[in-house]
Structure 1
């Protein structure tokens, strides 16, 4: 009887340990799955010196682009010259993009940039970059910049008036803007933590979607009359 009791006790302990091990294994799997999903949200790290994007119809397909034969790569694949652009639109802002489309050597490098030229009082309106953090560097002029935090953080607004040489960060995916508050033209560089940060301009997304968002939905969301939404669409 004593041996039987000891045997049952051992089985009970082993059963308990097995259950605990299963819980630990499930937790490890969950952690690995979460880590994998977080990592996959960012540009993949290159496993070679470079993967210059090519327009050829066959080759090694990496991160959405075909790779140029490394033996054919030259210095020009990593070079681009930009010039100031005079804004010619109602917003008073001109964007000169330098991404993998304009600079093939950026492929798999996880960075890109945009030069922003502002007329006096020109504005880069509220927008988001769903795949990147942004660093704004002021080249000339006086720029008023800011971002809005998520609803979980209370939609707080952070703003700063920036001068030549100043740097400001827009956190990953948050709504932000920048405006020339001076009386002369201004310029800045926007550097992104992705070769393809993506851009969602809030006014365009709300009022110029294809097909259009219902006027009733927008009027209810903004708590205004339908005529106000129609007028905004016209502009």
Structure 2
């Protein structure tokens, strides 16, 4: 009987240890304002950034101005993404959050892309957007919806997603992302615009396209 009790205790401890390691530890300080390089012997290197001496921190380390201003969408895609991450607001360091403004011209597209380190919560401020994301293999299921001003949608971390302005006027959305630096992989750019290029033979077989088409796409990107 004692052996059974011991075994149960070991299993419970193992489960507790597993649960404890499944989430980030609680922060032991109020903030860790990022600086690019250490200019102090007391600076601490955390998550790719040095922490600024707390005594030297100011309100400006947590501040950004001009987010309300429209961005230039005169480009091939008709969209413009302004990302406020740890590089733009040093006070975001270690706080696991960032913000993005996306401006769309009519028919503007934020092309299929993914954020490897962050879930995205999108709020439409103006206009009408067709949005969607695709699940991972083997289903590759598309979840899509048309959003209007005031609507909110979630794109799970690491999944390919897009936003397309299907309205006749400009559109604007705001996204919160669950990482201070969520990362960005634009699918077409990564596949056809890699440096050096992926072998055309590989892409021809992967996409079941004529090799001339693959070569043309690589030249475009």
Q: TM-score, normalised by structure 1?
A: 0.83
SS in 1 for 2:206: helix
Task: Pick the aligned partner of 1:177 from 151, 162, 166.
Answer: 162
**Partners in 1 of 2:20 and 2:196 — Cα distance?**
36
More helix by percentage: 1
| Correspondence for 2:124 | 138
Task: Pick the aligned partner of 1:64 from 40, 48, 52.
Answer: 48
**Partners in 2 of 1:106 and 1:84 — Cα distance?**
23
| Correspondence for 1:9 | none
Tell me: CA distance 1:31–1:215, structure 2 relative to 1, closer, same or farther (3 Å): farther
Tell me: CA distance 1:128–1:162, structure 2 relative to 1, closer, same or farther (3 Å): same
| Correspondence for 1:8 | none
Larger Rg, first or second structure (1 or 2): 1
**Partners in 2 of 1:130 and 1:145 — Cα distance?**
19
SS in 1 for 2:94: coil
**Partners in 1 of 2:17 and 2:199 — Cα distance?**
42
| Correspondence for 2:64 | 80
Tell me: CA distance 1:208–1:28, structure 2 relative to 1, closer, same or farther (3 Å): farther
1:191 maps to 2:191: no
Give CA deviations for 1:7-45 in whole Å, capped at 9, x if unaligned. Answer: xxxxxx99xx49x84x98589658846863x436xxx64
Task: Pick the aligned partner of 2:90 from 104, 111, 121.
Answer: 104
Paired residues, what number?
A: 214
| Correspondence for 2:133 | 147
Task: Pick the aligned partner of 2:152 from 167, 192, 204.
Answer: 167
Task: Pick the aligned partner of 1:205 from 190, 195, 199.
Answer: 190
| Correspondence for 2:27 | 46
Q: C-alpha displacement at 1:84, in angstroms?
A: 1.6
Q: C-alpha displacement at 1:46, in angstroms?
A: 2.5
| Correspondence for 1:226 | 211
1:119 maps to 2:100: no
RMSD between aligned alpha carbons?
2.3
Q: TM-score, normalised by structure 2?
A: 0.87
Q: C-alpha displacement at 1:75, in angstroms?
A: 1.3
Unaligned runs of 5+ in 1: 1-12
**Partners in 1 of 2:37 and 2:105 — Cα distance?**
40
Give CA deviations for 1:67-124 in whole Å, capped at 9, x if unaligned. Answer: 1111121111111012221113201111111001000111111100111111110101
Q: C-alpha displacement at 1:210, in angstroms?
A: 2.0
